[in-house]
Structure 1
Amino acid sequence: MARVLVGVKRVIDYAVKIRVKPDKTGVVTEGVKHSMNPFDEIAVEEAIRLREKKQASEVVAVTCGPTQNQETLRTALAMGADRGIHVEVQGKDYESMTPLHVSKILAKLAEQEKADLIILGKQAIDGDCNQTAQMTASILDWAQGTFASEIKLEDSKMTVIREIDGGLETVELKMPAVVSADLRLNEPRYATLPNIMKAKKKKVAKTSPADLGVDMKSSIEVLEVVDPPEREAGIKVESVEQLVGKLKDGGVI
């Protein structure tokens, strides 16, 4: 049976209206509600379902970030993950952390934990990078199945139905593998009160990028963060002919 690593990221809650800092160095995070990245919830759910089907022996949730990330890790444990690993990243290292850093950390942990499968959300709703799964698979030289809407695991092979622009694509992967979860893969369960209480007793190991031999130096510098431009007011037209004329004048048709 496979040992599964699942990445969980703490992000600003999807229902919160984002505000840019006055100095334009980033977005306001203090005093703002955070939660687990929605795509990561789907990844956790899929890993738990594999264990419930006796296809996974253990589900290990991993998070990278400051102390507050433990709250996100506990959510994964309350959903049903067996144990957690908190890779502590603080201060400037956290502010400049990129998907490549996270990929290197996950790759090191996969080797240490002797994992057979890594499941991640296809992207985080803060950076929308959609890079971590692909980079992790490349570093490990593992097979990858991205944008998964269905997963079937049989012995040492995994079938992934993935969502592409033209519809659906089915790929067969040899284990070990990295999979990224798309929106339609499943519907995550709610953590029940008894499971929330049990999660407090589950083991959470702490480590750091330095312990894993990962250099957090970044080659990317954020110069400025700005609000998107305000949308200009539209105009009303009186007829189809006028609409067509406006579209022609604007070069749309």
Structure 2
Amino acid sequence: MKLLLILSLVVTAAALTSCSESAASPSTEHTTAPENGAQFKDGKGVALTALMAQSISLQTAEVQEEKIAPAFTINVQAMQRGTEASGWLTADQAARVQPGMEVGLGTAKGSVLRIEKAAYATLGDFEVTVQTAAPIEPGSAINATFRFPAGDAVTAIPANALLTTAEGTFVYAKNDEFFLRTPVKVGARSGDHVEITDGLYTGDEIVTTPVMSLWLAELQVLRGGKACTCGH
């Protein structure tokens, strides 16, 4: 039953991608009748029957404060045989990185050799060169991970609670018996947690899994099982 439900939702969502208008942004206030175990109400969100919630293994948790130790990974590449490899940083990333700091290079370690603003690249891009412990072959690509110490505790949620769509980044926040798709702004990431800088407060209850299934259920209910309303 669970497999059939998920497949039904996936097929509906795939059809929705051909529509030019947003499938999850209704323009008029309405409440849908329960369909396939889900119901939608403007301003409230999507509600599931107990059977559907159980079938998709819905789980929720309270938003907590966590100490986030930020980290990010980029790809660096060696242009010639030697102990240097280069990659690209955004302006925000470059502001954190300093020459001499340790960097993880796959299963080995290295260090940041230099950072240079690239005059010929997209505005705000910086080239970072790292030094490896042993020579690497030209064209070799390595994942370089930059890690930073944890700061003060911040509002944070499990990374798998985030829903990223063409409309932005969201979470499903509990709203009485409904789950409301709520826009959020994210900050630092650390392992399986991510900082939330706007949109949630400590103590809010959110869906942690499976957010994609909940979103597909919302899309299906809004369209009443129809692929779209854009003339085809």
Q: TM-score range by the shorter chain?
A: under 0.3
Higher strand share: 2
Higher helix share: 1
Specify which structure has the bigger relative contact order, considering alpha-carbon pairs within 8 angstroms and separated by 6 or more residues. 2
TM-score by length of 1: 0.21
For the pair shown, which has the larger CA radius of gyration, 1 or 2?
A: 2
TM-score by length of 2: 0.22
